[in-house]
Amino acid sequence: MNLIIIPILAGIFSGVTELLYKAVQNKKFSKATYIFTFYLIATIITLPFFIFKFEPDITISLGFIILLALACYVLGNYFMFSALKVEDLSNIAIVRRSDMLFSVLFGFLFFNELITNKNILGVVLIILGVLVIFFEKKKISMISYKGLLFSLLTGFFFALAAFFAKYILKSINPYFFVFLIYLGLTISFSFFPKVKTEYKELFKLHKAKILAAGILGVFAYLLNIISLKVLNLSISFPVIGSTALSIAVLSGLIILKERKNLFKKLVGLIFVIAGIYMFA
């Protein structure tokens, strides 16, 4: 089997999952409630990974790195849902591809992966795509500024988490790692205020979408982690990123009807996809 199918499927599932995340947004519920609810479902779904793929020999040093990865996922998810509350999915999806820039940098610094002239051109194209979307009349509006900042932070922390995951997967199997991260995220966000009083109401209100997001999210994350194990960061991230980006942006435009500044979004999308493939 051609291994490239793994990140392609991861990107498809990721894009649809992001659409479902955006579709259930409601100011009534806190960001932490959304994250807890989604990952509680994911933890239950991946419980068989713990039962059948348990790894008993985790050293103290490896456990510390797993905690670092978890911290990055906690921050990445918090900023992602912060962005979803203030910005269009189609815009967030484009800026989130900044994780490409960070992942390639980490790959260069820590895994001896080369940065070429094509990579530098890719950086320029991605930055141009972001600027096209968020700059209007030589400035960024306050809401767009928050959406831009939250999306960039999401990309940074998810890329850093992927760097730690790449290292961790040398020692444990991807299935057990996926369960550990979901369990850690669920426990972490259970301590946030309002979560324990809101999550049942949120689940009842959007049961079908939350279950679908939980199932698709598990497939997306598992395939993402497997692609990190079998492919270089500089290969898996461009494919996952461009596929997820295309799905999320088109879903935002067609399903969520995010038609404001349509031309700018499409131009930004073209720049970012072109930039991503400079890393492939």
The per-residue pLDDT for range 199-253, each reduced to its tens digit, is 999 999 999 999 999 999 999 999 988 887 887 766 777 778 778 877 877 887 7
Residue 188 and residue 37: Cα distance in Å, rounded? Answer: 12
- Closest to 159 measured CA to CA, from 103, 119, 113, 112: 103
Query: Could you say which DSSP state residue 136 is in?
Result: B
Q: Distance between CA 280 and CA 275 in Å, rounded?
A: 10
Q: What are 141-198's pLDDT values in tens digits?
A: 545 677 778 888 988 898 889 888 888 988 888 899 999 999 999 999 999 988 989 9
Look up residue 163 and give its amino acid: F
Euclidean distance between CA atoms 87 and 15, whole angstroms: 16
pTM comes to 0.81
Query: 206: how many CB neighbours lie within 10 A of its CB?
Result: 20
Reported confidence tier of residue 138, pLDDT bands at 50, 70, 90: low
Instruction: Tokens 């051609």: give the residue.
Output: 2
Please state the separation of Cα 51 from the chain's center in Å.
Answer: 26
Look at residue 142 in the predicted model and tell me its pLDDT.
Answer: 44
DSSP 78: H
Of 53-57, 136-140, 165-169, the poorest mean pLDDT is in 136-140
* pLDDT score, position 148: 78
Task: Look at residue 85 in the predicted model and tell me its pLDDT.
Answer: 81
d(CA 110, CA 186): 30
